[in-house]
Structure formats: structure tokens, C-alpha cells
Amino acid sequence: MNADVAPALKHRIAENFSRAARHYDTHAGLQREVADALLGALPLDSALPNRALTRLADIGCGTGHVTAGLRARYPNARITGIDPAPGMLQEATRRRGHDRLTWQSGEAEQMPFADHSLDMVVSSLAIQWCASPAGFLQEAARALRPGGWLAFTTLLDGTLGELKHAFATLDEAPRVNTFLTPPALVNHLHASPLTGHHLSCADHLAFHDSAAESLQALKAVGAATLERPSCRGLMSRQRWACLTRSLERFRTPNGLPTTYRVAFIVTRKPAAPVP
């Protein structure tokens, strides 16, 4: 996302996710799959006998799936779910109410936390909506206590590859977002104040019966394509038929695939200042 247009896009993103909030969980199977894999990679309190994790934040919490997972994994911690979409926070409050969970409006690049106040920051499939990962990494480092943990997932180049290919056959600029390459993400991590990065990547596939269902599924989780081609307006029937034929080339016995290339990152703030 270009930093120059980030404010306008952020507003649209928040609106998209707010509209999707009511039915988000019905369509967010892949998002839960990725979130559960991230939760399983987090350190347990039992592995940290000298430093129990007591103050945690879930950035881009959506309807609170990860936030609730953190509560189960860290039963003594106070956890705050942060999201810029009011509709998502309303759903999280309605569905995941608990005395150790709180919900607050906020963004990954401007976290509403004091310096050195958190033991862990977690975020799943949210920071691809940032202007750049750099702001998120700097904010996480600021809010974390020395020795604190950051764990997050994000989408990489290769995500929605089927759709990009299909739009390319129309000689039209893709209507899908661009995503970081793995080397670019690694560069952002190395430039941050965080250390000990563990990075892995995996492709996660969602399957649908038709091209229309594939695109509707993106819209249903608030992730409707946001980068527009130069020619605006509804697609003609002829061009839609062309797009559908192109997507059909990817069909498998499970249906039409949509690829999400996911990076899993676990890193830490140094326990002492790096000389």
C-alpha cells in the first residue's frame, strides 16, 4: 500500500470490515486456520518460568478469534483486542465477552499503549493493510517490554495469484492488492529494533465452486480488492466470461482454488539495549 494514499484506503478498509463483521465468522475458515497455526507457535507460560506473560495485545483482532485463543493459552493474562473497524469490535464484544478481555479502537501503526507496557503483541492477517510493515514493527518494539514477544502473520507475494493471472488475460491492471515479497519482509525485520526472527512461509488454499463464489468470499470477509484499474465501472458480461474461463484453468477436484501465501513470524524485543 502506498503511504501517500494510506489514510483514504485505511478508511475504506475499516468500512469494508465493519460491513462484513456480522457474517465474517461464517466465511473466515482460512483466517481461523492461519490464526490457530499462529497460536500454536506461541511460547507457553510453562516454558517461561521466570517471566509469565501477563499483558497481551491482539492487533487487528476482528471478531476476536485470536483474542479468545490467547485467553485460553494464557489464563492469567489481561488481553486487549485492537481493531480500526467499529463493526468488528461490536461483534467481538458480543461474541467473546470476558472479564479479562477488553476491546479498543486503534491501528497497528498507532497502538494505544504506553511504552514498554506489553509482554506480547500478536497479529494475524492484519498488517498487509498497513502502509508498510515498518511502522507496525516500530510500534510493537515501542510498546513491548524488554524481552517481550511479537508474533504475527501476513500475506506475501503469490497471494491471490489465480485472480492476478485471470485479470492479466484481460489486458487489465489487476484489481487485487499487491503484497510484500519474502526478501522485502526480511529487510523490514532486519531494519527493526527486534531480534531473533523466526520466519516461515506456507501456502493456504481456499476452494469454491465458481468464480463468483471466490470473489464473494473475499467480499464476505472484508477483503474485497482495493486497488482499482484505470478503467472504472462494472465489468461487461463478455469480460466476466473471459475472467471466469481463465480462472477455470486452475480448477481442481476440490473446486477453484484461491491461494493465500502466508508468512509466520515470531520475534522478540532485546532484553537489554543492543550496543
CATH code for position 191: 3.40.50.150
170 domain residue, yes or no:
no
Looking at the structure of the chain, the number of domains it has is: 1
* DSSP three-state, residue 179: coil
DSSP-based three-state secondary structure for 148: strand
| CB 60, CB 130: distance < 8 Å | no
- Cell 514498554 sits at which residue? 116
Q: Is residue 219, in this structure, part of any structural domain at all? A: no
pLDDT in tens, the chain (275 residues): 444 345 666 666 666 666 666 666 666 688 889 999 999 999 876 666 556 788 999 999 988 899 999 999 998 899 999 998 888 888 888 887 777 889 999 999 999 999 999 999 999 999 888 878 999 999 999 999 999 999 999 999 999 899 888 888 877 655 667 889 999 999 999 999 999 889 999 999 989 999 888 888 777 655 555 444 444 455 678 888 888 899 999 999 999 999 999 999 999 999 876 54
Task: Give the 3-state secondary structure of residue 207.
Answer: strand
For residue 232, the Cα-to-chain-centroid distance in whole angstroms is: 27
Residue 163 lies in a domain: no
Q: Which range marks the domain in which residue 121 is found?
A: 3-156+179-204+261-268
Kindly state whether residue 109 falls inside one of the protein's structural domains: yes
Q: Are strands 144-155 and 118-124 parallel, antiparallel or unpaired?
A: parallel
Strands 256-268 and 195-208 come out as antiparallel
Residue 121 lies in a domain: yes
Cβ atoms within 10 Å, residue 113: 19
Quick check: is 190 in a domain?
A: yes
Q: Is residue 173 part of a domain?
A: no
Buried b (16+ CB within 10 A) or exposed e, 15-29: ebbbbbbeebbebbe
Q: Is 244 helix (H, G, I), strand (E, B) or coil?
A: helix
User: Which sign, positive or negative, has the C-alpha torsion 248, 251, 255, 256?
Assistant: negative
Instruction: Check residue 5 and give its pLDDT.
Output: 41
What Rg do the C-alpha atoms of the chain give, in angstroms?
A: 19
pLDDT attached to residue 114: 96
Question: Phi and psi of 130, rounded to 5°?
Answer: -75, 160
Whether residue 224 lies inside any domain: the answer is no
Nearest to 267 by CA among 176, 161, 188, 211: 188
